[in-house]
Structure 1
Amino acid sequence: MPADGDLAEAASVLRTGGLVAFPTETVYGLGANALDARAAARIFEAKARPSFDPLITHLADAADLESLVGAVPPAVAALAARFWPGPLTLIVDRPAMIPPIVTSGLATMAVRVPDNEYARRLIAAAGVPVAAPSANRFGQLSPTRAEHVVRGLGAAVDVVLDGGPTRCGIESTIVDARGERPVVLRLGALPVEELEQVAGPVTIRPGSSGQPVAPGTLAAHYAPRTPLRLSTAGATDSGVRRGYLAFRDRPVGDWAAVEVLSAAGDLTEAAARLFEALHRLDATGVGEIVAESVPDTGVGRAVNDRLRRAAATWSSGH
Structure 2
Amino acid sequence: MTELLNATETGIAEAARLLREGALVAFPTETVYGLGGDARSDTAVARIFEAKGRPRFNPLIVHVAELDAARAVAIFDDRAERVASAFWPGPLTLVLPLRPSARLSPLVTADLPSVAVRVPAHPVAQALLHAFGGPLAAPSANPSGKVSPTRAGHVMAGLSGRIAAVVDGGTCAVGVESTILGLTDGAALLRPGGIPAEALEDCLGHRLETGGDNERPNAPGQLASHYAPSAPVRLDVAAPERGAFWIGFGPEAGGADLNLSPTGDLVEAAANLFHYLREADLRAKGPISVSPIPDRGLGRAINDRLRRAAAPRPVA
What TM-score does the superposition give when structure 2 sets the normalisation length? 0.92
User: In terms of mean alpha carbon deviation, does 119-128 or 305-314 score higher?
Assistant: 305-314
Give the equivalent residue in structure 2 for 1:244: 246
Q: Tell me how far apart the structure 2 counterparts of residues 162 and 173 of structure 1 sit (CA, whole Å).
A: 24
| Residue 313 (structure 1) shift | 3.5
Q: Does 1:139 align with 2:150?
A: no
| Residue 115 (structure 1) shift | 1.0
Q: Does 1:91 align with 2:95?
A: yes
Give the equivalent residue in structure 1 for 2:134: 128
* Alignment: residue pair count: 309
Q: Tell me how far apart the structure 2 counterparts of residues 243 and 190 of structure 1 sit (CA, whole Å).
A: 30
Give the equivalent residue in structure 1 for 2:112: 106
Matched AA of 2:261: S
Q: Tell me how far apart the structure 2 counterparts of residues 143 and 207 of structure 1 sit (CA, whole Å).
A: 23
Which of 113, 117, 121 aligns to 1:115? It is 121
Give the equivalent residue in structure 2 for 1:278: 277
CA contact (8 A) 1:76 1:178 kept: no
Matched AA of 2:257: V
SS in 1 for 2:145: coil
After TM superposition, where is structure 1 displaced by more than 3 Å over at least 4 residues in a row?
231-236, 249-253
Q: Tell me how far apart the structure 2 counterparts of residues 140 and 73 of structure 1 sit (CA, whole Å).
A: 35
CA distance 1:128–1:202, change in 2 (3 Å): same
CA distance 1:251–1:264, change in 2 (3 Å): closer
Give the equivalent residue in structure 2 for 1:191: 196
Matched AA of 1:88: L
Q: Tell me how far apart the structure 2 counterparts of residues 9 and 32 of structure 1 sit (CA, whole Å).
A: 14
Q: Tell me how far apart the structure 1 counterparts of residues 293 and 231 of structure 2 sit (CA, whole Å).
A: 21
Query: How many percent of aligned residue pairs carry the same amino acid?
Result: 46
| Residue 201 (structure 1) shift | 2.1
SS in 2 for 1:156: coil
CA contact (8 A) 2:240 2:246 kept: no
Matched AA of 1:2: A
CA displacement 1:205-229 (0-9 Å, x = unmatched): 2542431000001111111111111
| Residue 99 (structure 1) shift | 1.5
User: In terms of mean alpha carbon deviation, does 143-152 or 290-299 score higher?
Assistant: 290-299
Q: Tell me how far apart the structure 2 counterparts of residues 185 and 66 of structure 1 sit (CA, whole Å).
A: 21
Which of 63, 68, 75 aligns to 1:58? It is 63
Q: Tell me how far apart the structure 2 counterparts of residues 252 and 83 of structure 1 sit (CA, whole Å).
A: 36
CA contact (8 A) 1:226 1:288 kept: yes
Q: How is 1:40-55 mapped onto 2 (pairs within 5 angstroms)?
A: 40-55=45-60
Q: Tell me how far apart the structure 2 counterparts of residues 204 and 247 of structure 1 sit (CA, whole Å).
A: 29
| Residue 187 (structure 1) shift | 0.6
Q: Which runs of 5+ in 1 are unaligned?
A: none
